[in-house]
């Protein structure tokens, strides 16, 4: 049977991770889930203890320590994964109920990779509009908050995430996936947190995200993108 390995990179997600793990347990089919791998990049807020406590009751949840950096953490998780489908999920993103069935069906119908359309947990008109655009199968509409599923053999063929990217790693990998073809946007809604926008300011953060996209388009190196992010956002 086709099975999914859920891979969740975390760093200091004590406020979110237990709620997400409980949600995934309640809204998926155990027969379709190989394991849920929580890849910790060195949390100092008790995230690891929360995951460890949850895994005692739910052995398919496995906490793993990894070098820091989301690309490194996701690659590390993929290397441990036993499922034939990898499903990368942020700790503050909640996929639709029975997401696993939707992913398996998409793969059976010929998709090699894909995501869900997305909405923010905010009523702000700009964030609602941004989420609305994720229903379209355009590269420019993609991002890691929408989650990502990919056949493991395709992931390995592309050599996974580029670990030179400390930011923008999701977009860089997704753009390579689009070149492979058969990328599907499942028309069901994932809900993600607007916390970064609320903390940094919606227009301020949107400006910097657009600037990062433009810098990458015009050839900025991963190090320059990281430096810009740290200076203005981090």
| CATH code: domain of residue 85 | 3.90.550.10
Looking at the structure of the chain, the number of domains it has is 2
Same domain, 200 and 137: no
Measured between alpha carbons, how far is 167 from 170 in angstroms, rounded to an integer? 8
CB 37 within 8 A of CB 6: yes
Same domain, 172 and 205: no
pLDDT tier at 127 (50, 70, 90 boundaries)? very high
| Over residues 103-116, mean pLDDT | 98
Same domain, 23 and 137: yes
Q: What is the pTM of this model?
A: 0.96
Which residue(s) pair with 151 in the sheet? 85
Q: Does position 97 have pLDDT exceeding 90, yes or no?
A: yes
| Over residues 17-26, mean pLDDT | 98
Q: Does position 234 have pLDDT exceeding 70, yes or no?
A: no
Domain boundary residue among 160, 176, 193?
193
pLDDT tier at 181 (50, 70, 90 boundaries)? confident
pLDDT tier at 19 (50, 70, 90 boundaries)? very high
Closest CA to 194 of 207, 184, 186, 206: 206
Which tokens belong to 122?
A: 């905010």
Residue 83's domain spans which residues? Answer: 4-193
- Residue 1 is predicted with a pLDDT of 76
Same domain, 128 and 60: yes
pLDDT tier at 154 (50, 70, 90 boundaries)? very high
CB 92 within 8 A of CB 35: no
For residues 205-234, b (16+ Cβ closer than 10 Å) or e, as one string? beebbeebeeebeeebebeebbebbeeeee
User: Can you count the helices (H) and strands (E) in the chain?
Assistant: 10, 8
Same domain, 182 and 139: yes
Query: pLDDT > 90: what percent of the chain?
Result: 97
- Residue 91 is predicted with a pLDDT of 97
What secondary structure letter does DSSP report for 203?
Answer: H
Same domain, 85 and 115: yes
Same domain, 119 and 178: yes
Closest CA to 7 of 142, 150, 114: 150
Same domain, 74 and 140: yes
Same domain, 67 and 162: yes
Same domain, 216 and 146: no
Same domain, 113 and 225: no
CA-angle at 171, arms to 106 and 163, nearest 5°: 110
Residue 44, Cβ density class (10 Å: 0-12 exposed, 13-18 middle, ≥19 buried): exposed
Same domain, 116 and 168: yes
3-state SS string over 105-139? HHHHCCCCEEEEEEEECCCCHHHHHHHHHHHCCCH
């Amino acid at each position: 049977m086709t099975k999914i390995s859920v891979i969740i990179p975390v760093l200091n997600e004590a406020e979110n991770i237990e709620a997400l793990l409980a949600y995934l347990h309640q809204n998926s089919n155990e027969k379709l889930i190989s394991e849920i791998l929580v890849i910790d990049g060195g949390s100092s807020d008790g995230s690891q203890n929360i995951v460890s406590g949850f895994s005692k009751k739910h052995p398919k949840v496995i906490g793993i320590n990894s070098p820091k950096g989301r690309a490194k953490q996701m690659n590390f998780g993929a290397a441990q994964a036993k499922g034939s489908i990898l499903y990368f999920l942020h700790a503050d993103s909640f996929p639709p109920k029975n997401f696993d069935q939707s992913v398996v069906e998409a793969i059976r119908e010929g998709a090699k990779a894909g995501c869900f359309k997305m909405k923010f947990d905010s009523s702000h008109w700009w964030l609602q509009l941004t989420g609305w655009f994720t229903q379209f199968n355009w590269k420019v509409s993609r991002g890691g908050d929408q989650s990502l599923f990919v056949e493991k053999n395709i992931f390995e063929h592309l050599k996974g995430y580029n670990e030179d990217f400390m930011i923008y790693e999701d977009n860089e990998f997704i753009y390579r996936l689009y070149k492979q073809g058969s990328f599907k946007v499942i028309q069901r809604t994932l809900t993600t947190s607007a916390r970064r926008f609320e903390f940094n300011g919606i227009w301020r953060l949107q400006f910097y995200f657009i600037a990062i996209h433009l810098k990458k388009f015009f050839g900025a190196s991963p190090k320059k993108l990281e430096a810009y992010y740290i200076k203005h956002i981090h």
